[in-house]
Structure 1
Amino acid sequence: MGLAWDYAGPQEIYAEMQQGMDSLDNIDWARLSEENSVTYPCLTPGGEGEDVVFGDGFPRASGRARFVPTWPTPPDETLDDDYPTVLTTGRQLEHWHTGSMTRRAYVLDSLEPAAVATLNPVELERLGIAAGEALSITTRRGQITLATRADPLTPAGMVFVPFCYAEAAANLLTNPALDPVGKIPEFKYAACRLARAESASASLDT
């Protein structure tokens, strides 16, 4: 990118962050290294830090927050006869992010050792699939096969797939379209079709 990112270590990165982040005021690197973590905002050097970020007001002339109403925009990819079901991806309690740490933890990986496709029991009945049987999930970008799990809290018409399993890479299925403002990929909504599969072992095909 042409930037001078030739830092000698994290201390220099932190010093640069302090130039543009008021939340780091009064929290120097030496203290952070010694205490490992410091609550912000910290109003004085050596202070304990505040429990509330904006306890006395918001950083505006009035001191009051400004709320702006907004309306959801339609998804980039809509459902149709070929792809009539919503695919959404996300985290699990046991594997809260990519699994790079949690899947190395024996207890956590024992609780959730493999990816599953979670559906409402109504959806499983519609598909003629029992919980635990294999399901093929196909989008315009690829296909994966997972064992199923019934969950009445999952909305009908939707399938949930965790994204932390490399052997069942859910993000190969998701839509890379970006939010026009936040530039966040549309990983939470993609059109898919579901069908009974022969094997419940995780597999993928792009």
Structure 2
Amino acid sequence: MARGYFHAVQFVRHPAVPLYTPEPDVIHDIFGHGIHLTSPAIADIYRLSGQAAARVNSPEALEVISHVYWFTLECGLVAEHGVPKAFGAALLSSYGEIGRSVRQIRELDVSDVMRTGYEISEYQPVLFCAHSLGHMTDTLGGFLETLDDDAVPRPCREAGQASSGNSAGPGWRSRRFTYPPPIKETLPSA
């Protein structure tokens, strides 16, 4: 990804798991990531993710990148007129994940993302929502461009887990936007 390449798999998920599969398949790669890669701004976030991963050496920094990637490009939401819409590739390629209505939706904040755990083999109980595509690209771009091993929050380096927002450093916390109406969870019924 650092050099602008995205490798896609060539197989389709097993028919026994049509609603969600934790391993990528051509549906996930084409209808999830492929849609993102048609936008130069979003494709740049993929490139910055790859460059950040290539730049860091510590497992803790890679874990931080993993969390940010998972909760935005895989399982992120973007608000449209205050209503969260599926954005992440894992959401776009999973009818089961899109139709799930019992979950917590939080405002996109990289500091919060870094300390939120996830399990790729299950539906996500927590999702993060950006106010707009611009909000997502600005927040992620600034974070990924400046991340290095020394910038990983201290508790993250010591404990191998993400830290609280105050130690994340300047530029990692997205600006607080206020806009009407507030983000509401409204997902299609199955």
TM-score, structure 1 length as denominator?
A: 0.25
Larger Rg: 1
Higher strand share: 1
Relative CO higher for 1 or 2, CA cutoff 8 Å, sep ≥ 6? 2
